[in-house]
Structure 1
Amino acid sequence: MPTRCDQTDPWPLLQAHFTARGRTLDIRDAFAEDADRFAHFCQAAPHVFADLSKNLWDRETETLLLDLARACGLAQHRDAMFAGQAINATEHRAVLHTLLRRPAGLVLPGDVAETPQRLADVHTTLDAMLVYADAVRADDTITDVVNIGIGGSDLGPHMAVLALEASRMPTKRLHFVSNVDGHELHTVLKTLRPESTLFLVASKTFTTTETMTNARSALAWFAAGGGHNVGRHFVALTTNVDAAQALGITTTFGFWDWVGGRYSLWSAIGLPLAISIGSAGFRDLLAGAHAMDEHFRTAPLAQNLPVRLGLLDVWYRNFHGFTTRCIAPYHAALRRLPAYLQQLEMESNGKRVALDGQPLAVATSPVLWGEPGTNGQHAFFQMLHQGTDVIPLEVIAVRQPTHPLPGHHHKLLANALAQAQALMEGQRSDDGHRHFPGNRPSTFLLLESLTPASLGALIALQEHRVFVSGCLWGINSFDQWGVELGKVLARNLEERLESGDVAGLDASTAGLLARLRSM
């Protein structure tokens, strides 16, 4: 079990350092004082180049943060995850999404006894799923694929299909339905024909309310439209084969309890992506993620990009007190990346108690939000530059365009560079309305091109930085008990909306329920 950061010897040293220098550090002065600052705070990792130099830290800060990571036992906790130990302590499970992208037969130091069989099972399922994906791609009678899932069963594949649109098979249209609001499903269904549509129902337990409500409505639409052979037009991505078969779904691809929903893109949940980009593309995605896994697993902490990002996150959250981080992907295909990262970080690290169940004395996950550049510049960047809150910005850019239109990409990249530069440098003016204070931090992540491999590496990088900050905070980043209470109450209130019974409800909920029934 890792040691909580606030209970280690480096913690008070970091507090003293922040008081003496960290709170007043000016990035502009830091560049003037350190001619090698850019070189020191740059980091090349598989498929991703990072510039961390425009952040509110210096070499002393980073050295103290690295001491903190060592005192917390970060390397040991990381190795325990890769080895397959049950680091998800509240659910007594291993955390092995990295195994989903590990090459067949690869043995790592410290692997638990179950690992070889687990890895063999992974590749058996992967091979079968990719054979099926290629068969769907070759079937000209299927023109539309509808993925029905929510949370990790939607955000990951939806984000990745959009991100890799340049690699998409043009004769297959991919649709994603997640919300229990029937408007979403109805809007998709009215454009489709039963005989040319394939539905993928993604739910590990096959009990998720939103997913199963949408699945049953899709089955009803299919039958009402004269659809035949549910077994051909519906596939289940689940471990609950019996429940799927009860609905007439005979083709199923499963995964394991050591795969968390927000880490499941690499499993059968990635089937819509495999159909979109093909089996070779999906294997490239896994290879890119595995390359980042190996970097995280083997690189020294001081040259380890997920570690450096995670330490910066702790520095900002617990010392500077920054409550949010803005994500600005300067590539329109990455438009769903902020939503994906919201779940990854906020569901993982949005915790108020440590592994021992006791309340934490420090803050945890920041709020993540954002939009693609340059749209965000014309919406909320005003606040980033001149607002009362300092909000770290994370820019994600791609050097090579995925389109042939001349003139666009240089303008896009120039805007990405300019925003980071403007946040740091600011602009002095005697007119307060035109004064930009500057010294506002940003991180710049650069991909050479947006490919399955580079996307896989980028996602794995974000997974591992969340692991790092969660480890230092001493929390379990791999459960999500906080989503359960609302589900339980919703089931009760659904019945009350039918019956009108308000007995025992608080006055507000009772009043709203009565209002809804009267309308």
Structure 2
Amino acid sequence: MSASHWSALKTLAAQPLSLRQAFAADPNRASRYSMTACGIMLDYSKNLINEQSWQALQQLAQQSPLQQQLQAMLAGEKINNTEQRAVWHMMLRKTDVSGLTLDGEEVGSQILSCRAKMTALVSQLHNGEYKGYSGKAITDLIWVGIGGSLLGPQMAVEALTPYHCSPVKLHFAGNIDGAVVSDVVKHLDPATTLVVVASKSFGTEETKQNALAIRQWFKEHGADSAAIARHFWATSSNISAAAEFGIIAEHILPMWDWVGGRYSLWSAIGLPLALMIGNTHFAQLLAGAEAMDQHFISAPAAENMPLTLALLGIWYINGFGCQAQALLPYSHYLRLLPSYVQQLDMESNGKSVDLNGQPLTDATAPVIWGDAGTNGQHAYHQLLHQSALAVPADFILPVACAHNLTDQHQRLAAHCFAQTQALMQGKTLQEATDECLAAGMTAEQAAALAPHKVSPGNKPSNTLLLPALSPYYLGALIALYEHKVFCQGVLWQLNSFDQWGVELGKQLSGPIYQALSGADASALDNSTQALIAHFMRQK
């Protein structure tokens, strides 16, 4: 959008609005600003919006090329313009992919073949039919990946813990820190361990080095090349590099250029999740995401949940200048969701130029942070309630719990709803003073303490209620945030599907590694030279 659009948004945001007064004046505010999609209920009534500002945000969407970009994405056009790639991750969760073609290539059969191969491998592992080089059944699987190849499956595996049904234990190896692989293999037996290397290029340094370290561990335990071939799988588009590593073609699951890493959970990158929850439940995850896709594609703008979340985010970032967004799942199992959405949102839309490479006139993606409730209430919620910073927050709560401690779940829900209420209404100086007096304080004592108990309120939040944290609703929830990010990228007129900023650090790490290995470091800046020198002295 143009600078004038953002200026108009700022002007609207500058008009004072009291959420307390808005709720008092409109007994139907909660129903007016709420909606349900795919079973997920969104209450966005505790936002700093009225009919005027909400209509203005709707008009902003109508004036944008959102529908054109959505149709271009669905048609397989190369909307990732800097890499000349289509963006087709939605196709991976379609029920019917028969006849699906892209650039003249039939990809529907490729998707079905990949699904069938995953299903067969999961079934073999569950049934103890996949034998290692010693003839023993596989007992452990190490998933080697980083970024989108790790965050998605790791988050989803954690989220769906109550659905775990696998006799095979799962281990993740992501960070290049040697402690990761060392800890993972410490108590494992190579003869009963399967390894899957997840890397589109099969050249990502962290993944490659961890895979090499694990392969060396196999060799140290007497495994030959045939044994390694039996125990190593990959999901990659670089068949030759995987083969050079020692992975046979039959053990390579595909990755496609039209699926970005942070959108790849629905592909073979979802194998760890399928392993842990079983093929039937993995299919339900895909079904939930597909249902949200259909809602996003077909729902009118005023009833469209991803677009609603996107517009609210735009409102706070570009209208109020908010630089952060809190993601607060009130579910122990969803505690990794903020980390997952960090990549989804910040890697997608953390840009400073538009689709044509021209500087953007306003801010884009917020800093995403958060943790599971109620832990955060005893940490950073203090800042949310009483600091001068404005941090919009999404609260996420499953209605049904996966345990029999139902009273504790009701207490969890009470805390969740209380936090949104407290952020909205706050506590006035008069209320704080009356509270102190009611506690038996003198007027002087109350006057001294009351200012410290004041909370300004008027802090915005959304509340998302899931019927349950099931595969279906998790799929829908993830797709919801995917589409929100897409909408915001279109409104900011940027490319949400490249990540060139990630490449710079990778490029610079090579010469620095060489310097740490004894090469000449004189071409490096003096700060980096000093750090290298200190590291080498201490080492």
TM-score by length of structure 1 reads 0.95
Question: Structure 2 CA distance, aligned partners of 1:112 and 1:303?
Answer: 31
Give the aligned partner of residue 37 of structure 2: 45
Residues 148 and 211, structure 1, Cα contact 8 Å, conserved in 2: yes
State the partner residue of 1:249.
247
The alignment partner of 2:517 has SS state of helix
> Which consecutive residues of structure 1, in runs of 5 or more, have no partner in the other structure?
none
Q: Match for 1:484 among 503, 507, 520?
A: 503
The match for 2:26 is 34
User: Deviations for 1:79-102, whole angstroms, at most 9, x for unmatched residues?
Assistant: 211121111111111100101111
Match of 1:138 among 115, 127, 138: 127
Paired residue for 2:231?
233
Equivalent pair of 1:239/1:254 in contact (CA under 8 Å):
yes
- Whole-angstrom CA distance in 1 between matches of 2:178 and 2:305: 42
Of 74-83 and 203-212, more deviation after overlay is shown by 74-83
Contact kept in structure 1, 2:166 and 2:277, CA below 8 Å: no
Name the counterpart of 1:268.
268
Superposed, 1:436-475 pairs within 5 Å as: 436-475=455-494
Matching residue of 1:68: 60
Q: Deviations for 1:257-309, whole angstroms, at most 9, x for unmatched residues?
A: 01000000001111111111111111111110000000000101110000010
Residue in 2 that maps onto 1:299: 299
- What secondary structure sits across from 2:142 in the alignment? strand
- In terms of mean alpha carbon deviation, does 327-336 or 124-133 score higher? 124-133
Structure 2: 5+ residue runs without aligned partners?
A: 130-136, 434-449
Per the TM alignment, residue 34 of structure 1 is displaced from its structure 2 partner at its CA by 2.2
C-alpha distance 406-30 of structure 1, shift in aligned 2 (>3 A)? closer
**Contact 2:35 2:303 (8 Å CA) reproduced:** yes
What secondary structure, in the 3-state scheme, does the structure 1 residue paired with 2:463 have? Answer: strand
Match status 1:203 vs 2:199: yes
Give 1:486's aligned amino acid.
G
Shift of 1:30: 1.4
* Structure 2 counterpart of 1:260, one-letter code: G
Q: How much does 1:15 deviate?
A: 3.7
Return the letter of the residue paired with 1:97.
H
Q: Which residue of 2 aligns with 1:508?
A: 527
Task: Tell me how far 1:71 sits from its aligned partner.
Answer: 0.9
Instruction: Tell me if the contact between 1:54 and 1:424 (Cα under 8 Å) persists in the aligned partners.
Output: yes
Moved more, 488-497 or 170-179: 170-179
Q: Which residue of 1 aligns with 2:106?
A: 117
Maintained 8 Å contact 1:500/1:514? no
Greater CA drift, 504-513 or 406-415: 406-415
Letter in 2 for 1:316: Y
CA contact (8 A) 1:11 1:68 kept: no
Q: Does 1:426 align with 2:426?
A: yes
Instruction: Provide the rounded CA distance (Å) in 2 between the counterparts of 1:354 and 1:113.
Output: 26
Distance 2:174 2:144 in 1: 6
What CA distance in whole angstroms lies between the structure 2 residues aligned with 1:364 and 1:325? 12
Q: Does 1:370 align with 2:370?
A: yes
Instruction: Name the structure 1 match of 2:150.
Output: 154
- What is the SS of the residue equivalent to 2:513? helix
For 2:190 and 2:416, how far apart are their aligned partners in 1? 44
Find the aligned partners of 2:330 and 2:367 in 1 and give their Cα distance: 20
**For the residues of structure 2 that align with 1:166 and 1:227, how far apart are their CA atoms?**
36
Inter-partner Cα distance in structure 1 for 2:477 and 2:302:
19
The correspondence of residues 390-429 of structure 1 with structure 2, limited to 5 A, is 390-428=390-428, 429=432
Distance 1:105 1:45, change over 3 A: same
Equivalent residue of 2:347, what SS?
helix
Query: In structure 1, what residue type is equivalent to 2:517?
Result: E
What is the rounded CA distance, in whole Å, between the counterparts of 2:139 and 2:413 in structure 1? Answer: 36
Structure 1 window deviating more from structure 2 (237-246 vs 316-325): it is: 237-246
Q: Secondary structure at the match of 2:473?
A: helix
Structure 1 residue 506, shift from structure 2 partner:
1.0
For residues 421 and 106 of structure 1, the distance between their equivalents in structure 2, rounded to whole angstroms, comes to: 49
Residue 152 of structure 1 contacts residue 261 of structure 1 at CA under 8 Å; is this kept in 2? yes
- Partner residue of 2:443? none
Q: Return the offset for 1:113.
A: 6.0
What's the counterpart of residue 12 of structure 2? 17
> Conserved in 1, the CA contact under 8 Å of 2:166 and 2:278?
no
Deviation digits for residues 397-449 of structure 1, max 9, x if unmatched?
00011112342211111111111111111112241111111111111011001
Query: Secondary structure of the equivalent of 1:72?
Result: coil
Are the counterparts in 2 of residues 345 and 466 from structure 1 also a CA contact under 8 Å? yes
User: CA 1:42–1:115 in structure 2 vs 1: closer, same or farther (change >3 Å)?
Assistant: farther
- Which region of structure 1 is more displaced relative to structure 2, 414-423 or 128-137? 128-137
The aligned amino acid for 1:370 is G
Cα distance in 1, alignment partners of residues 521 and 3 from structure 2: 47
For the Cα contact (< 8 Å) 1:194–1:226, is it kept in 2?
no
Aligned to 1:317: 317
Deviations 1:298-342 (A, max 9, x none): 101110000010011100000111100111111111111000000
Instruction: Spell out, residue by residue over 1:346-370, the C-alpha distance to the aligned partner (whole angstroms, 9 max, x if none).
Output: 0000000000101111000000001
| Counterpart in the other structure of 2:218 | 222
2:258 counterpart residue number: 258
Change (3 A) 1:120 1:170: closer
Amino acid in the other structure paired with 1:87? I
Percent of aligned positions that are identical: 45
Deviation at 1:46, TM superposition (A): 0.7
Matched residue SS, 2:197: strand
Q: 2:185 aligns with which of 189, 207, 214?
A: 189
Deviations 1:176-200 (A, max 9, x none): 1100000111111102111121111
Q: Distance in 2 between matches of 1:40 and 1:406?
A: 31
Aligned counterparts of 2:70 and 2:529: Cα–Cα separation in 1: 48
Contact 2:160 2:471 (C-alpha < 8 Å) held by counterparts: yes
| Letter aligned with residue 460 of structure 1 | A
8 A Cα contact 1:85 1:112, kept in partner: no
SS in 2 for 1:499: coil
- The structure 1 segments of at least 4 consecutive aligned residues displaced by more than 4 Å after TM superposition are 10-13, 111-116
Pairwise CA distance, 1:47: 3.1
Q: How far apart, in 2, do the equivalents of 1:54 and 1:6 lie? A: 28
One-letter code aligned to 1:422: A
Mark the CA change 1:105 to 1:483 in structure 2 (over 3 Å): closer, same or farther.
Answer: closer
Q: CA deviation at 1:254?
A: 0.8
Looking at structure 2, the residues matched to 13 and 321 of structure 1 have their Cα atoms a distance apart, in angstroms, of 13
Q: Measure the CA separation in 1 of the matches of 2:33 and 2:406.
A: 33
Equivalent of 2:117, from 128, 147, 151?
128
- Structure 1 residue 114: deviation in Å? 4.2
Contact 2:284 2:472 in 1 (8 A): yes
Greater shift after overlay, 397-406 or 324-333?
397-406
Matches of 1:230 and 1:264, distance apart in 2: 26
Taking structure 1 as reference, are residues 106 and 245 closer, same or farther at Cα in structure 2, changes over 3 Å only? Answer: closer
